[in-house]
Amino acid sequence: QVQLVESGGGLVQAGGSLRLSCAASGSIVSVPRMGWYRQAPGKQRELVATITSGGTTNYADSVKGRFTISRDNAKNTAFLQMNSLKPEDTAVYYCNALVTDLIPLTRVYWGQGTQVTVSS
């Protein structure tokens, strides 16, 4: 009933920038929290950044000062602006959203993942 569609991943040189988007669609009443997690080869999935519907943000220490998360509440879409990218940022980035639907139930949804590769 609810889908998360991610876009914006790709290949970029160190120091470059990428902008990820995540759009939630379906029978949605509200999206209290949206964000991204990432998983690099051989490592556990880790939180990157989250944002609530009220605008409260949370960032992993490794991306503070470089990444900025924002959202368009009217479109249930979140954005992750990634600047000063480092090779260590290379990972599959997964959109994550806490969604309240029409049943109503509140549950977590995951996007399909998008590859971000930063070359040195």
**Ordered per-residue pLDDT tens for the chain, 120 residues:** 899 999 999 999 999 999 999 999 999 999 999 999 999 999 999 999 999 999 999 999 999 999 999 999 999 999 999 999 999 999 999 999 999 999 999 999 999 999 999 999
Q: What span, in angstroms and rounded, lies between the C-alpha atoms of 50 and 80?
A: 9
Residue-level pLDDT at 99: 97
Q: Would you call 16 helix, strand, or coil by DSSP?
A: coil
Residue-level pLDDT at 33: 98
Residue-level pLDDT at 87: 98
Q: What span, in angstroms and rounded, lies between the C-alpha atoms of 49 and 51?
A: 7
Residue-level pLDDT at 1: 81
**Helix and strand element counts for the chain (H, E):** 0, 11
Residue-level pLDDT at 5: 97
CA distances to 33, 93, 109, 119 from 96, in Å: 8, 10, 6, 26
CB atoms inside a 10 Å sphere around CB 17: 12
Adjacency order of strands within the sheet including 18-26:
2-7, 18-26, 77-82, 67-72
